[in-house]
């Protein structure tokens, strides 16, 4: 039996696939290599995956919106688990390009989910986001919190994924696990993410724009901690009456994948400055549309389920990212 990973040329998908291959799994990967950010970086990630000899890798280029293509993927192989990590990313981009998110994050999600139902996949895991917490003010965010006030189209599509997955889980008893990722960072990260932009700007002596006067708080989560959590959960199949939410008995669970330690954005930049041994030229700006002031994950459920906590500090994570950045870009 194989594992299907969608979005495997993406940041999180690449790292999870890499770990699965190193563990000896057979993995079928899907990605469409869209141009939202550097396709070269995506292809370089895939080139790294092809260097791994322990597991079996098959990489397919195609679009989630193409139902015929997706049907062919499921028809040609038997999968024990589907890790659906492909999506149109980016909060701010969703405000100016909402239809891109409907296509990939809604239509594409449903194409995958319908094949999961058709082929009775043992465990369906998918990427959600901390952005679903939207206007919530109570901290830290808990999976039992109401999530009906999204502030971006991206967040709305991610919440819709959770609702669709729950419905399928309820109707067809499909074990499903939602992964609410909190500001993931690390080597081979996305160039549109703030930490990547900050590093590039500092090295090039360019001004950095910081919104909300620098008073944003983020639960920065290093990529190896994310990979560890996801792979640990892969073998933890949701069961009936196990779900945290008392109003359902579907085999459906939601986990916050975070660090449980929010960091002020200006302090995060200081860590980058220290790793680079250079100072940032900072321009403090007002809050930007679609952003939230703070993300802070309660991960008690996750720690209880997998028996481990995140162990990479901000200092360690930034040093690892900067070392990779210099090697890759300079």
Among candidate residues 37, 101, 133, 154, the one labeled active-site is 154
166-173 long-range contacts, CB within 8 A, separation 24+: 166/248, 166/250, 166/252, 168/113, 168/116, 168/117, 169/238, 169/250, 169/251, 169/252, 170/248, 170/250, 170/252, 172/117, 173/240, 173/250, 173/251
Asked if 269 and 280 count as a contact pair (C-beta separation under 8 A), the reply is yes
Residue whose C-alpha is closest to residue 200's, from 10, 57, 232, 208: 208
- Cα-based angle 206, 198, 36 (whole degrees, multiple of 5): 105
Residue whose C-alpha is closest to residue 193's, from 42, 37, 86, 320: 37
CA–CA separation, 247 vs 249, rounded Å? 7
CA–CA separation, 17 vs 190, rounded Å? 16
CA–CA separation, 89 vs 183, rounded Å? 12
Residue 296 annotated to the active site: no
Catalytic residue positions? 154
């Amino acid at each position: 039996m194989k594992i299907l990973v969608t979005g495997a040329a993406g940041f999180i998908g690449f790292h999870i696939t890499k770990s699965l291959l190193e563990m000896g799994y057979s993995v079928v990967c899907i990605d469409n290599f869209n141009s939202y950010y550097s396709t070269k970086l995506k292809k370089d990630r895939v080139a790294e995956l092809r260097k791994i000899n322990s597991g079996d890798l098959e990489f397919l280029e195609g679009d989630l919106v193409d139902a015929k293509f997706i049907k062919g993927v499921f028809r040609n192989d038997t999968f024990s688990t589907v890790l659906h990590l492909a999506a149109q990313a980016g909060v701010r981009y969703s405000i100016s390009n909402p239809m891109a998110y409907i296509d990939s994050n809604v239509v594409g999600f449903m194409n995958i989910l319908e094949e999961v139902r058709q082929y009775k996949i043992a465990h369906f895991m998918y990427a959600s986001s901390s952005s679903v917490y939207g206007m919530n003010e109570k901290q830290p965010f808990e999976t039992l919190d109401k999530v009906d006030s999204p502030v971006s189209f991206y967040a709305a599509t991610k919440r819709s994924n959770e609702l669709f997955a729950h419905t399928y889980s309820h109707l067809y008893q499909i074990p499903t696990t939602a992964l609410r990722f909190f500001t993931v960072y690390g080597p081979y990260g996305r160039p549109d993410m703030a930490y990547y932009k900050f590093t590039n700007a500092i090295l090039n002596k360019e001004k950095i724009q910081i919104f909300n006067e620098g008073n944003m708080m983020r639960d920065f989560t290093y990529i190896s901690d994310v990979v560890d959590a996801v792979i640990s959960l892969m073998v933890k199949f949701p069961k009936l009456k196990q779900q945290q939410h008392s109003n359902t008995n579907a085999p459906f669970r939601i986990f916050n994948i975070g660090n449980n330690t929010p960091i002020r954005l200006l302090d995060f930049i200081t860590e980058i400055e220290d790793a680079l041994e250079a100072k940032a030229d900072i321009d403090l700006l007002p809050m930007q549309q679609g952003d939230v002031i703070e993300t802070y994950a309660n991960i008690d459920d996750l720690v209880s389920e997998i028996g481990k906590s995140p162990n990479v500090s901000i200092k360690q994570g930034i040093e690892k990212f900067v070392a990779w950045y210099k090697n890759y870009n300079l």
